[in-house]
A = this chain, B = another copy of it.
Amino acid sequence: MTTVAAYAAPAAKAPLERTTVERRPVGEFDVLIDIKFAGICHSDIHQVHDGWGSSVFPMVPGHEIAGVVAETGPGVTRFAVGDRVGVGCMVDSCRECENCRAGLEQYCLRGNTLTYNALDKNGEPTYGGYSHRIVVDENFTVRIPDGLSLDVAAPLLCAGITTYSPLRHWNAGPGKKVAVVGMGGLGHMGVKIAHALGAEVTVLSQSLRKKDDGLRLGADHYYATADATTFEKLRGTFDIILSTVSAPLQLDAYLSLLRTDGALVNVGAPEEPVSLNLFSLLNGRRTLAGSGIGGIRETQEMLDFCAEHGLGAEIELIGASEINEAYERVLDSDVRYRFVIDTATI
């Protein structure tokens, strides 16, 4: 066991503070990673606030991890000391079910092991990336291509793959009109990726406050959803609507913006049930779907794609002592567009 520095929430809704946690010894197929940067995801805050009702404390959040391999287990074949690597939302899965075999570990039928706020196969708690070091199986570690700086790469491990995976699955590309709902951590990556995939991209944001950024990042159009005429103007327009917001959507209004056979895909996760008129789906054979992160193979594909197209996250780099303030600012939608912790400051 190795004792490493970390920032943890000692209890639900408590401020995060510096502490230490134990990392397991480096096993046969493990890599020890010197964490350099960790992104702050909205779901970190959800879990620190026990918003989904299953949080365990103390909690070290962080599932957008970028670092460098410091040590490898004897069975490791894919990574060497000094390699630039990332870890996302999962650190293990059953590896045997049909979904795991198909590279869909995010939908592991026996339940995967989340990077923090979970128990691993030995029943030990997992601790996330707000920390100096982490030990992860090489099969749940991905390579960060040379073209990507580690700081802007970190958020790709959640915000990147969460938007890339559904955009690919629902065939965003040339000739397709894609709307991205929400211009935050996920949304701004959705805009960049959909644009790089060749789609015509529209941002649907509450206000026009971030319009200049949206257009700069690749959006072709930008509309305020607070303006009711937006829904009239854009009726029947989109092949894909990617909703990245965690506030409950007015689903029927957004579904009316889809073309025939269009799909509204939610990657945000409202805590309360939403209301829906099924006629909104009947008209135009529309679909409402959900998507969660992506598989390990697809996460590597996403990183390679982002490197090829020069896509990193837009970040605000902070020190560990600023984490609690950053949480408040995320809740106020006051971040452009992802806080990333320089873990050397922990």
Q: CB within 8 Å of B: which residues of A?
A: 99, 104, 107, 109, 166, 169, 236, 252, 260, 263, 266-270, 273-292
Contact = CB atoms under 8 A, between A and B. Distances in A.
Contacts of A252: 273
Contact of A281 (B275, B281, B289): B289
Contact of A289 (B269, B275, B286): B286
**Total identical chains:** 2
Contact of A282 (B260, B269, B282): B269
Contacts of A277: 273-274
Given A266-B281, A278-B290, 6 more contacts: A274-B278, A280-B290, A281-B289, A282-B290, A283-B292, A286-B289
A273 B273 contact: no
A264 to B, nearest CB: 10
A276 to B, nearest CB: 5
Q: Chain A binding site: helix, strand, loop or mixed by DSSP?
A: mixed
B99 A260 contact: yes
- Nearest 8 A/B pairs, CB to CB: A281-B290, A282-B290, A287-B289, A273-B275, A288-B288, A287-B287, A282-B292, A107-B260
Contacts of A263: 287
B260 A104 contact: yes
A65 to B, nearest CB: 22
Nearest to A252: B273
A1 to B, nearest CB: 34
Contacts of A276: 273-276
A289 B285 CA distance: 7
A105 B219 CA distance: 33
